[in-house]
């Protein structure tokens, strides 16, 4: 049975985290909870939305990305996963709070990062009327929510309805929670359990979409075909060919790969016990981290291909020419010897 990823969504105060915690033991699942309180701009945002919107939104975007990029794939390799938010919903708040150049810049970053985040098998959308939401927010009495404008909650609620009505690449189960108290009434919780079970069972496979038809290009197994795939993907997704922005994303991926390799090195050294050799422990450490290494190396290749496109370089031809030069060179047998004229990198 394939491990399931269920994400709970809804307006501030609707009860997402409470439901996620209650579902966790039912599905014997890992749980991923959104970190809200750590945003240093949030309380100021609720006091002055226009002034602090961009800082608040970018902090949330990067925080959610870094949390989900590692945690979601790792959790799904072990079992089921319940989360109290989706990465995709981040753009909903950007639409509400950002304008013009800030929204355009945000959109480019969100699109680039969102490609790397696994999608839920089911989104459970909890709805509630405005007065119910305001009552629940008041009851939990979070300090940074005390100055919240009730009108903002109305805007968020309307934005959620609009966003999820247009969402056609992820299955959505909508549950009206106005009269439900799944924390105190077991019957209400059982009702939700049955609704979610039916939702997971009936969730149609995510549509392949036009991108998948272009994967035939990749099956040619040539770098030129890979570059063509990324040209078509950029056009389909509306990605801008921003050379320096994609360079920054490449640097971020190098950082991710560096983290993976440090983890491999640390784990291999930790296992050097009971007379075991370094080759054996290194292979074990690589095996433990191979899924992350695989993903990060693939991302690195993707950004290198994109940079080649944006600079008008046929990467396959350039690689072949460079390797022909390298075949005619000799390199020192020992590290630290004098470098030959030119170098491989």
CB 306, CB 232: distance < 8 Å? no
> What pLDDT is recorded for position 8?
95
Structural domains in the chain, CATH included, are: 5-202 (3.40.50.300), 209-327 (1.10.287.1080)
Catalytic hit among 38, 84, 147, 181: 84
Residues 285, 258: Cα–Cα separation, whole Å: 15
Tokens of 89: 């919903």
Q: Helical H runs in the chain?
A: 16-26, 42-47, 49-78, 90-97, 100-114, 130-140, 150-166, 186-202, 209-213, 215-218, 223-237, 243-270, 278-310, 315-327
Tokens 């240093």 belong to 40
CB 34, CB 64: distance < 8 Å? yes
Question: Is 84 marked active-site?
Answer: yes
pLDDT in tens, 243-265: 888 888 888 889 888 988 999 99
pLDDT in tens, 77-95: 899 999 999 998 888 888 8
DSSP-assigned letters across all residues of 81-130: EEES--STTHHHHHHHH--HHHHHHHHHHHHHHHTTSPPPSEEEEEE--H
Look at the pTM and tell me if it is higher than 0.85.
Answer: no
Mean pLDDT of 208-235: 64
The β-bridge partners of 125 are 9, 174
CB 83, CB 7: distance < 8 Å? yes
């Amino acid at each position: 049975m394939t491990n399931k990823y269920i994400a709970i969504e809804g307006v501030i105060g609707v009860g997402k985290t409470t439901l996620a915690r209650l579902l966790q033991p039912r599905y014997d699942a890992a749980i991923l909870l959104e970190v809200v309180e750590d945003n240093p701009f949030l309380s100021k945002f609720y006091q002055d939305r226009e002034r602090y919107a961009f800082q608040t939104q970018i902090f949330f975007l990067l925080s959610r990305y870094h949390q989900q990029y590692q945690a979601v794939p790792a959790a799904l390799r072990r079992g089921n996963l319940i989360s109290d938010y989706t990465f995709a919903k981040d753009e909903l708040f950007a639409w509400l709070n950002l304008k013009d150049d800030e929204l355009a810049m945000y959109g480019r970053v969100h699109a680039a990062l969102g490609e790397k985040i696994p999608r839920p098998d089911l989104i459970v959308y909890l709805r509630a009327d405005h007065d119910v939401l305001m009552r629940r927010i008041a009851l939990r009495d979070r300090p940074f929510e005390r100055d919240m404008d009730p009108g903002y909650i109305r805007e968020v609620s309307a934005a959620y309805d609009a966003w999820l009505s247009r969402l056609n690449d992820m299955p959505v189960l909508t549950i009206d929670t106005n009269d439900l108290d799944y924390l105190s009434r077991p019957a209400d919780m059982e009702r939700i359990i049955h609704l979610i079970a039916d939702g997971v069972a009936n969730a149609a496979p995510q549509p392949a979409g036009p991108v998948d038809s272009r994967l035939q290009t990749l099956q040619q197994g040539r770098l030129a075909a890979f570059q063509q795939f990324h040209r078509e993907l950029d056009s389909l997704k509306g990605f801008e060919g921003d050379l320096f922005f994609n360079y920054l994303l490449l640097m971020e991926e190098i950082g991710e790969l560096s983290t993976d390799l440090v983890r491999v090195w640390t784990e291999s050294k930790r296992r050097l016990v009971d007379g075991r050799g370094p080759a054996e422990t290194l292979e074990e450490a690589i095996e433990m981290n191979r899924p992350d290494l695989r993903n990060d190396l693939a991302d690195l290749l993707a950004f290198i291909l994109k940079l080649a496109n944006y600079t008008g370089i046929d990467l396959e031809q350039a690689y072949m020419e460079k390797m022909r030069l390298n075949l005619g060179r000799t390199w020192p047998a020992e590290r630290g010897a004098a470098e030959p004229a030119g170098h491989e990198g």
